[in-house]
Amino acid sequence: MKDFPSCFGENGVQVADSSSSNSGKNAQNLVTCIYQCRIRGRNCLITVTWTKNLMGQSVTVGVDDSCNQSLCKVEIKPSLFTKRKGSKSLEAYSCNIDVFWDLSSAKFGSGPEALEGFYVGVVVDKEMVLLLGDMKKEAFKKTNASPSSLGAVFIAKKEHVFGKRVFATKAQLSADGKIHDLVIECDTSVTDPCLVVRVDGKTMLQVKRLKWKFRGNDTIVVNRMAVEVLWDVHSWLFGLPSAGNAVFMFRTCQSTEKSLSFSQDMVTTTNSKSQSFGFSLILYAWKNE
């Protein structure tokens, strides 16, 4: 089962939960980002997965078509045994797709994502479709590519968070570039647990009688933008904490006509009209006992 959108089209997006295959400490060191772009007039997805293990950090860049068929995939392992910078060329849709990277000076924090001193770029027919990192000048010089008029759009991110009753992360929920502090709090040891969601220190959502509302959705407003919050905490309340995780989804959407369903296995959003996708953040919250 795929981690993220399995098929983007005019009528919907499906987001699958792969938590069962990424449990424990391995899941803690995995972050997946998805970008939507157009290649030769077709909608495509660029998936960037950052991983951290005993051998160090690595990043995988994959390009898929709108129905999840892989066009190309490059795994970059900036360790002592492989090149910290390089490129790889592939061909799809009768065009050239080039992946360039330089992680030789990359700085990492506690997580798997590089923070600064790097670039990862995807070039299609000499146009820079996606460019990550702060070394943009070096990337354009190396690739000799021109900026794309239709660059990739950041549409989804998946990460795993760990805690006892407080789970925190940082997220960019809108196109203004502002990074928000996102905190989920839930003490399942009490008789009547309550779920609290805070953004930048402000309580935005409070779900009482959680044992009756262990799955649900609500809408909060962040910087005058509506953000749908969906949750599934069934495993926290009725299962073994070490064997399962809660799932949260924070989703911005510009569409006004939509229907939502959510479960531990699948999030499905469908519209009766053509949908303009926003951004989705999916958090798998694991309790440390």
The model's pLDDT over 189-222, given as tens digits with 9 standing for 90+, comes to 889 999 999 999 999 999 999 999 999 999 999 8
Residue type present at position 225:
M
The answer to whether residue 5 is domain-embedded is no
Nearest to 280 by CA among 187, 178, 172, 129: 172
What string of pLDDT tens digits covers the 289 residues of the chain? Answer: 233 333 333 333 333 444 444 455 555 578 999 999 988 888 899 999 999 887 778 899 999 887 777 888 888 876 655 678 889 888 777 788 899 999 989 998 878 899 999 999 999 989 999 999 999 999 999 999 999 888 898 989 999 988 899 999 988 876 667 889 999 999 988 899 999 999 999 999 999 999 999 999 999 998 888 899 999 999 999 876 556 789 999 998 654 334 344 444 434 433 333 344 478 999 999 988 6
* Residues 168, 150 share a domain: no
pLDDT for 12 equals 33
Structure tokens at 23: 């449990």
* Residues 46, 148 share a domain: yes
* Residues 149, 212 share a domain: no
The partner residues of 90 in beta bridges, in order of sequence, read 97
How many CB atoms sit inside 10 A of residue 6's CB?
Answer: 16
The answer to whether residue 7 is domain-embedded is no
The answer to whether residue 2 is domain-embedded is no
* Residues 118, 57 share a domain: yes
The answer to whether residue 180 is domain-embedded is yes
pLDDT for 8 equals 31
* Residues 236, 125 share a domain: no
Structure tokens at 252: 């911005």
Domain boundary among 119, 154, 189: 154
The answer to whether residue 90 is domain-embedded is yes
Residue type present at position 9:
G
Q: What's the number of CA atoms in the CB half-sphere (13 Å) around residue 193?
A: 19
Phi, psi of 26, deg, nearest 5: -60, -40
* Residues 263, 196 share a domain: yes
pLDDT for 62 equals 92
* Residues 110, 239 share a domain: no
Q: CA end-to-end span of the chain, whole Å?
A: 28
- Domain count of the fold of the chain: 2
pLDDT for 34 equals 94
Tell me how far apart the alpha carbons of residues 40 and 24 are, in angstroms, rounded to a whole number: 41
The answer to whether residue 60 is domain-embedded is yes
Range of the domain at 261: 164-287
Domain boundary among 133, 154, 175: 154
pLDDT for 215 equals 95
* Residues 129, 148 share a domain: yes
pLDDT for 211 equals 92
The domain that contains 191 carries what CATH number? 2.40.128.180
Q: Kindly report, residue by residue over 113-152, the tens digit of the pLDDT.
A: 999 999 999 999 899 999 999 999 999 999 999 998 888 9
Structure tokens at 45: 């997805």
Domain boundary among 105, 125, 154: 154
pLDDT for 6 equals 34
